[in-house]
Amino acid sequence: MNTQKVMRLIVGCLVIVAMVKIFFHPSSSKDTSVKTHQIIQGGNFWAKQHIPQLNLVHNEEDPVKKEHAGNTEVQPEEKETIQSNQEELEPEIPDDTPMDPLKIVHLDLKGAAPKVKYLEEIFPLLSTLGANGILLEYEDMFPYEGELSILKSSFAYSPEDIEKIKSLAKQHKLELIPLVQVFGHLEFVLKHEKFFKLREVETYPNSLNPQAQGSMDLVQDMLTQVMKKHPEAKWFHIGADEVRGLGESEDSKRWLEANSGDMGKLFFNHVTAVGRFMTKLKRGIKLILWDDMFRKLSSDTIKESGLQDLASPMIWKYIPNMDVKEIGNYISKYEQAGFKGVWFASAFKGASGIDQKWTPISHHLKNHLQWQKVIQSMPQYKSVRFQGIALTGWQRYEHHTVLCELLPVAIPSLAVCLQTLKYGSFDTEAEKEVQHLLGCQVELSNNECKGASFPGSDVYEMVKKLNDNLESSVKKIMQSYHVKGSFSPYHRKRSFANPRNLAFFKDGLKKLMDEWDSFLLTFRKNMEAIFYPDTLEEWLEENVNEHIERLHEMVVDVERIIKLNGQPKVDPSKMR
């Protein structure tokens, strides 16, 4: 009897153990069902939602079109290079791209690139303000190597700097998206004599000749080097906006003659070739490009190119009175062309004037309010997904133009724009949050943020003072009664003046010069903490030196001429 009880007990235990194993064993199969769009409550695109993933990998073994210049097909040597690069860049990117639309802050490094130390300070702020990504437009700040080393700036980021930036982005949950221009806006490349032969217009450095032997080699080398530094990137922006002069080179003219003058195809052949190269270089990478070059083309023309299987368009518009209906027409066209996703691009700085020094917050707020209307309209587009918005912060209109607003100067504008996207408008709640995070009260009517305490706020305050007071203070003293009447350029040129008249403004002039000199010593120190020497030199020369030098020259002339005790005029031709 005891034996039977023992046997029953053993059998019972085995059954329980088996049931426990079955119950707790993890499933080996994945749910591969396609997730469908959910209705977005209240028009809020930043709410949690399940949206189908966009697979940007081009599944066909479609070689680069033969119409593309010389080296269009992937040659055996290139295949080996690509395979080698893939091996170095593996493992493949996991398909875990964030489901919610991203809010990405664009950092334009083609001028006034911030030091990594400053990025260390602002990345946490950007994350707190609601950003969850960074669009990093390297231009000449990337540490290109080998034959491309000529492209990098004297102050380009080092490989260690890039690793630090990546680490900071990851730490603060900011999706890092590299941007490398592959067609237009290649001034930083084509300005070098070595690459003159690759220009679309011989005398202009703007755009690449897509038919020239060596053009694809150049682009592939650039992309490969950047991708090697960003093997974990889920998204990659290939630019391709404003391809100035396309079709003007002799190579392109011959191609157009042989292809019915199809400019759209000329453009698409190059960007799709780049797209296929990238998807072979890194399986799973999701590509983005600016949309302006195909806005006027039909959906059928776009679809025929195959671009919709390789990339997502980023529709950009930066003006305050943006036409929402026009943007809707673009979205409809791109949906019909077969794009599964679409991005938007607004602006928080660098889009209100080629030499703008002080960011007009209201200008950029209005732009974002218009984009908010577009975002709220997205549920009507059933087969295209809104993937995110890039808040662009342009530092130059192009490589050869002057600096726009410095990044610290635009932080209040960026905060206002991000909070507007978060709340749907810049209401009282959004305003309070900006005040809490920046430590300043935004005054839209005066276009300023008073009492700022955010990283770089010292530069913000000092640029405001320079912008508001430097030129006006110099003009004021130059327009004073005694300077206008007794110390004109004519008098100074001939060392001819009454010391009594000079005495009326001499001390005030010297005091003004000393005050600005002292101010600028502090300004230099604060700028050097954020920017490299070339930025400081350029900004001062463009915005400060003219006025300060005028003061210094005036003081020197006053002190020299006052000692002459009102002597007769000196013949300028006899002066040294």
| Catalytic machinery residues | 242
Q: What angle separates helix 263-281 from helix 215-229, to the nearest 10 degrees?
A: 40
Yes or no: say if 404 and 354 are a contact pair by the CB < 8 Å rule.
yes
| DSSP H or E stretch at residue 313 | strand 311-316
Collect all residues with Cβ–Cβ distance below 8 Å to 14 and sequence separation of at least 6. Answer: none
The gap between the terminal CA atoms of the chain, to the nearest Å, is 129
Cα separation, 74 vs 89, in Å, equals 19
Sign, CA torsion 354/360/361/363: negative
Collect all residues with Cβ–Cβ distance below 8 Å to 341 and sequence separation of at least 6. Answer: 54, 312, 384, 385, 386, 387
Q: How far is CA 355 from the centre of its chain?
A: 17
Q: Return the amino acid letter for 465.
A: K
Q: Return the amino acid letter for 160.
A: E
Collect all residues with Cβ–Cβ distance below 8 Å to 233 and sequence separation of at least 6. Answer: 93, 176, 177, 178, 227, 282, 285
Strand ranges inside 426-533, DSSP E = 441-443, 448-450
The single-letter DSSP state of residue 531 is B
Tokens of 428: 């009282």
